[in-house]
Chains A and B, each alone.
Chain A
Amino acid sequence: MTIPQNLRYTKEHEWISVDGDVATVGITAFAAEALGDVVFVELPEAGSEVSAGTPCGEIESTKSVSEIYAPVDGEITEVNQAVIDTPESVNSDPYEQGWLFKVRVESMPELMDAAAYTALTQEG
């Protein structure tokens, strides 16, 4: 499973792509595969404030449900309506069409790079 080199990662298996002061957030292919087929995604509302490390949504497969954690502090600027309508894109294209939300970053904790995240996924 490839782990994109240009992204940052959390131990909750989210990826973060930073462009200026806006971060795009999704879950990794590793997390999507562990969940199984994603059938429901609940995302924070645009305009709401989220804080790093706290739950801000949920992602549900037929088999299980997981919380989505905000990877940074900030204000939600946009949510991916397409992923709400077709949650399977989290499985089929987790790093592109399967993005979840964008957040204007007010403060960002230290995040993992691809090498560190790869090591995390190989711990078993």
Chain B
Amino acid sequence: MKTPLHDVHSGLGASFTDFAGWDMPVRYSSDLAEHRAVREASGLFDLSHMGEIELAGPQAADALDYAFSGKLSAVAVGRARYTMMCNERGGVVDDLVVYRLAEERYLVVANAGNAAEVSAELVRRAEGFDTTVTDRSAETALIAVQGPTSAAIVGAVSDADLSTLKYYASVPTTVAGRDVLLARTGYTGEDGFELFVAADDAAAVWQVLTEAGQGHGIVPCGLACRDTLRLEAGMPLYGNELSADGSPFAANLGRVVRFDKEGDFVGRAALEGRPAPETVLVGLTGSGRRAPRHGYRVLQGDDEVGEITSGALSPTLGHPIAMAYVPVRCSEPGTTLSADIRGRLEPVEVVALPFYQRR
């Protein structure tokens, strides 16, 4: 599948990769330069492969409270919330961001690889509630501007008052005369914005942001740097840190499971009955330049204790960073473990997440 911006990326000389069935830019020039641009200036991302599902109706909030782990009925209009769709076993179907657009209208943003399942599952879970469920993925493009100069760029092209637009909030506005839902959200560890636009308006909005960003160091960015940016920020990636067999608690995301909300939600019984997790997600740092990668073994002495879920040489920090599931007894920061990097054991130290936090 191709996003509405595919031709734009080709014109910019992007290299493409398959991501969940989508032909997406992996990089335009250099992963490191794009990563650095987001940390020091701004990056422009096409995220149109992600899924957008709208719920509207008097019981949209109730349907979401039942469908997801969070208490979406408590989210104020104009605000957003990070949440999970769990299965009956308490495993994670997807991690999502839900925007409350109006009293009776929500926008659910799902990962590309899970979008079809989330959409179908939302239809099922909303049965019996007075709400519509509309998959708007095909007609919606998503463009992100992320980095310390992003507010200057977005401020130059929209009338929205960014000084009052908080992190995890959204506001309808216009950019280049096109209707945009402007959200202050992201997946990079920097200040940043995500712009939901009609697919037909995507190229025009991309162009306007590119022009507005010229004096602010904006660089088009691919999925390769998106992955290293989110890893430095300690953010989980579905399929690496999160899965249908894992639990939100093991991923240190118990805070998004709201047992205190009224009524049932899918996965509640399994999650309430489940003992504390035996393995938990930790951050690991190494020395040298060889990075532990997804699937590599983690050892304590001679004993295999866990597995790397994500890892890379951190472009910002200059040393290897990784996340891994390890037994609770090995999870204390300062604990020395080792990673089997293609047959050679390299020492790694457990550290608190995130690896990188913006000032």
Which residues of A are at the interface with B, using a C-beta cutoff of 8 A? 33-34, 36-37, 39-40, 42, 58, 60-63, 65, 91
Whether the pair B342, A58 counts as a contact (CB closer than 8 A) is yes
Across the interface, which residues of A come within 8 angstroms of B32, CB to CB? 37, 39, 62
Across the interface, which residues of B come within 8 angstroms of A63, CB to CB? 26, 31, 224, 227-228, 312
Whether the pair A60, B35 counts as a contact (CB closer than 8 A) is no
Across the interface, which residues of B come within 8 angstroms of A33, CB to CB? 15
> Shortest beta-carbon distance, B281 to chain A, in Å?
21
Is B64 in the interface zone, CB < 8 Å from A? no
Across the interface, which residues of B come within 8 angstroms of A61, CB to CB? 31
Residue from the list A37, A42, A58, A65 in contact with B31, Cβ < 8 A: A37
A33 CA / B290 CA spacing, docked (Å): 20
Whether the pair A60, B30 counts as a contact (CB closer than 8 A) is no
Which residues of B are at the interface with A, using a C-beta cutoff of 8 A? 15, 26-27, 30-33, 35, 224-225, 227-228, 289-291, 293, 312-313, 315, 342
A28 CA / B340 CA spacing, docked (Å): 29
Query: Can you name 19 extra interface pairs (CB under 8 A) apart from A37-B30, A40-B290, A62-B228?
Result: A36-B26, A36-B27, A36-B31, A36-B224, A37-B31, A37-B32, A39-B289, A39-B313, A40-B313, A60-B290, A62-B32, A62-B35, A62-B224, A62-B315, A63-B26, A63-B31, A63-B227, A65-B293, A65-B342
Across the interface, which residues of A come within 8 angstroms of B30, CB to CB? 36-37, 91
> Shortest beta-carbon distance, A91 to chain B, in Å?
7
Across the interface, which residues of B come within 8 angstroms of A40, CB to CB? 289-291, 313
Nearest B-chain residue to A91, judged by Cβ: B30
A34 CA / B27 CA spacing, docked (Å): 10
Nearest B-chain residue to A88, judged by Cβ: B32
Q: List 8 A-B contacts (CB under 8 A).
A: A37-B32, A39-B32, A39-B289, A40-B289, A40-B290, A58-B342, A63-B26, A91-B30
Across the interface, which residues of A come within 8 angstroms of B342, CB to CB? 58, 65
Across the interface, which residues of A come within 8 angstroms of B293, CB to CB? 65
Main secondary structure of the interface of B (DSSP, over half): mixed
A7 CA / B79 CA spacing, docked (Å): 60
Across the interface, which residues of A come within 8 angstroms of B313, CB to CB? 39-40, 60, 62
Across the interface, which residues of A come within 8 angstroms of B15, CB to CB? 33-34
> Shortest beta-carbon distance, B310 to chain A, in Å?
12
Across the interface, which residues of A come within 8 angstroms of B315, CB to CB? 62
A58 CA / B313 CA spacing, docked (Å): 15
Whether the pair B289, A60 counts as a contact (CB closer than 8 A) is yes
Whether the pair A60, B291 counts as a contact (CB closer than 8 A) is yes
Across the interface, which residues of B come within 8 angstroms of A39, CB to CB? 32, 289, 313
Across the interface, which residues of B come within 8 angstroms of A34, CB to CB? 15
Nearest B-chain residue to A34, judged by Cβ: B15
Nearest A-chain residue to B231, judged by Cβ: A62
Across the interface, which residues of B come within 8 angstroms of A37, CB to CB? 30-33
Across the interface, which residues of B come within 8 angstroms of A42, CB to CB? 290
A63 CA / B32 CA spacing, docked (Å): 10
Across the interface, which residues of B come within 8 angstroms of A65, CB to CB? 291, 293, 342
Across the interface, which residues of B come within 8 angstroms of A60, CB to CB? 289-291, 313
A63 CA / B31 CA spacing, docked (Å): 8
Whether the pair A62, B289 counts as a contact (CB closer than 8 A) is no
> Shortest beta-carbon distance, A2 to chain B, in Å?
16
Across the interface, which residues of A come within 8 angstroms of B312, CB to CB? 62-63
Report the 5 A-B pairs with minimum CB-CB distance, sorted nearest first. Answer: A40-B289, A37-B32, A36-B31, A63-B224, A37-B31
A40 CA / B319 CA spacing, docked (Å): 11
* Residue from A33, A61, A62 having most chain B Cβ neighbours under 10 A: A62
Nearest B-chain residue to A64, judged by Cβ: B293
A61 CA / B313 CA spacing, docked (Å): 8
Nearest A-chain residue to B27, judged by Cβ: A36
Across the interface, which residues of A come within 8 angstroms of B224, CB to CB? 36, 62-63
A119 CA / B27 CA spacing, docked (Å): 24
> Shortest beta-carbon distance, B319 to chain A, in Å?
11
Nearest A-chain residue to B223, judged by Cβ: A63
A6 CA / B293 CA spacing, docked (Å): 37
A33 CA / B15 CA spacing, docked (Å): 9
A62 CA / B230 CA spacing, docked (Å): 13
